[in-house]
Amino acid sequence: MKNVLFVCVENSFRSQMAEGFAREFGAGKVQAYSAGSRPSGEVNPGAIEAMKEKGIDVASQASKGLEDLPALQWDAVVTMGCGDACPHLPAEKRLDWDLPDPKGKSAQEIRAIRDTIENHIKKLFGELEKSSQR
């Protein structure tokens, strides 16, 4: 089982959507987590609505801080483009997807960011699967 962490500042939008996709696509193969360097304490309603359109419920996920994560060896840590606010966490693979913050964006812009995250997740899981076959 691979441990994957998605990090953004507030852990309310991008990283929550990434966690939702990862749980959906990686069921039985990946343990997905998300956290923020300064968590907002809630999942943004725009993220909940955008993911609902894809048939994925993220409403039960919680916005949490890095200190709330279990002590795990991370196979991959993915930052969402949060720059200096994201601390370094040791991992086998580190990625930064450099996504715009969807907060305050239109529904169409949020969908575009969501779809980019979905594509990144599929690519990441393909890479993780290849590395576990070696």
**82 annotated active-site:** yes
Q: Can you say whether the dihedral through the CA atoms of 10, 15, 17, 22 is positive or negative?
A: negative
Can you identify the CATH homologous superfamily of domain 2-133? Response regulator (3.40.50.2300)
Q: Find the catalytic residue in 7, 48, 50, 82.
A: 82
Backbone angles phi, psi at 110, to 5 degrees: -65, -45
| 86 is a catalytic site residue | yes
Q: Can you give the pLDDT at residue 59?
A: 95
> What is the chain's pLDDT, residue by residue, as a tens digit (134 residues)?
899 999 988 999 999 999 999 999 998 889 999 999 888 999 999 999 999 999 999 999 999 999 999 989 999 999 988 655 566 778 888 888 999 989 899 999 999 999 999 999 999 988 877 776 65
Domain ranges of the chain: 2-133
Spatial contact of 110 and 102, defined as CB atoms under 8 Å apart: yes
pLDDT in the model for residue 37: 86
What does residue 65 show for φ and ψ, rounded to 5 degrees?
Answer: -95, 165
**Strands of the sheet with 91-96, listed across from one edge:** 30-36, 2-8, 74-79, 91-96
Kindly name the residue from 4, 5, 7, 8 that is annotated as catalytic. 8
pTM score of the predicted model: 0.91
The catalytic residue among 32, 50, 86, 124 is 86
